[in-house]
Amino acid sequence: MSSKTGPLSHVKVLDLSRILAAPWAGQILADLGAEVIKVERPGAGDDTRSWGPPFLKDAEGKDTKEAGYYLAVNRGKRSITVSLEKPEGQRIVRELALKADIVLENYKAGTLARYGLDEASLRKVNPRLIYCSVTGFGQTGPRRDQPAYDFLIQAMGGLMSVTGEKDGRPGGGPQKVGVPIVDLMTGMYTAVSVLAALARRNETGKGDSIDIAMLDVQVATLSNQAMNYLVSGKVPKRNGNAHPNIQPQDVYACADGDVILVVGNDGQFAKLCEVFGRPEWVSDERFATNAQRVRNIGELSGLLRDLFAEWERERLIAALDAAGVPCGAINSVADVFKDPQVKARGMLKHVPHPSGVDVPQLSTPMRFADAALETQTAPPLLGQHSDDILGELGYAAADIAALRAAGAI
């Protein structure tokens, strides 16, 4: 049984999901202390286990069966293998649902109903369940039966139309974001939704059903770009690294490397002008306010690029930091983990893995003053906890052996 601490240490989650979006939600809940039981296919498990290389290496330096992709989204969980196609497996899932507070699943619409494991069926077992379905397009609409992946939704949901360099420039054209951002944001919305339903259940005593669609999430997170279009009628276009509404914000080349400049208000712009010895720009009608700078960014950016080219990167970063102007170098992923601030916040940790090595894990960014989150366990091996979980349900060793022989686990 779980001995976790944390604000959700009293919560049990039955995680029937695979790949990334819903498992990301399950990992968030596990980080918060919930007991998360991950149900996987016997022999194969979550697809992401094989999405490599790279794979974690064991104590002898050999590849394990745990891909980095899988290791990114499954820490703190317990794994049990169950065949949903077999009646014995279906019974196990219903028994787990009886003890669960939350069910996460991301099968195509209608799939689990064939096994008697859909929301209506499990609610008969446990009326207090919070049952959350995560799919590409939701439980309704003309695409409800179609599969989806992050890349597809980034394209369909408009994100790629505003990401990337301008057409006609080197490297121009649509680009996807460098991480599966729709999956990650869908996982975040899923976690928020089930926790809201849990809070509501504390008031009403009733469970709820939640329908999360990746396309809905991407449309919702178009955010300022969507509103720019809705209030102006002008379709947003790719603009490289330049911000569409706040300027100057872009990548600028120093004499020895690039710098990110993020001026967020008129006060910061005045400080930037002071560092560059251009105090007259503060009252220049072309640049005095953000709206004017946005309208005249072509001219301003050209002037700034000439000034940036006169500075060495580290010297300019130090000068802008001292003036209170947000700026910084463009770090590689390796550079991120060398950053003093990242180190100070403890964003990288290592936890013991059953292969005999310590597996690196990103720390949760959540910090609680009165409910410190403990170091979580490593992402589990396939079926690592099957016997323990079944034992907790009351299965004897002989019963478990029979289930395994029948291919049900």
* Of 213, 216, 100, 244, the residue nearest 147 (C-alpha): 213
Looking at the DSSP bridge assignments, the partners of residue 115 are: none
Q: Are 250 and 241 in contact (CB under 8 A)?
A: yes
| CA 208 distance to own-chain centroid | 24
Dihedral angle computed from the Cα positions of residues 122, 126, 130 and 134, in that order, rounded to the nearest 10 degrees:
-10
Q: Which helix (H) or strand (E) holds 262?
A: strand 257-262
- Calpha distance 304→91 (Å, rounded): 67
Torsion 353-357-360-366 (CA) sign: positive
* Of 354, 353, 348, 377, the residue nearest 36 (C-alpha): 377
Q: How far from 237 is each of 165, 175, 230, CA to CA, in Å?
A: 10, 12, 14
* Of 230, 226, 224, 231, the residue nearest 245 (C-alpha): 224
Q: What's the DSSP call for residue 371?
A: S
- Calpha distance 71→68 (Å, rounded): 5
- Calpha distance 246→262 (Å, rounded): 9
Amino acid at 60: E
> Is position 183 annotated as part of the catalytic site?
yes
Q: How far from 272 is each of 293, 296, 308, 320, 398, CA to CA, in Å?
A: 13, 17, 11, 7, 73
Among candidate residues 183, 208, 216, 250, the one labeled active-site is: 183
Q: What are phi and psi of 307, to 5 degrees?
A: -70, -45
Q: Are 389 and 93 in contact (CB under 8 A)?
A: no
Q: Which residue has the tokens 């005593």?
A: 205
Q: How far from 307 is each of 122, 255, 273, 285, 326, CA to CA, in Å?
A: 65, 10, 11, 20, 17
Active-site residues, by number, are 183
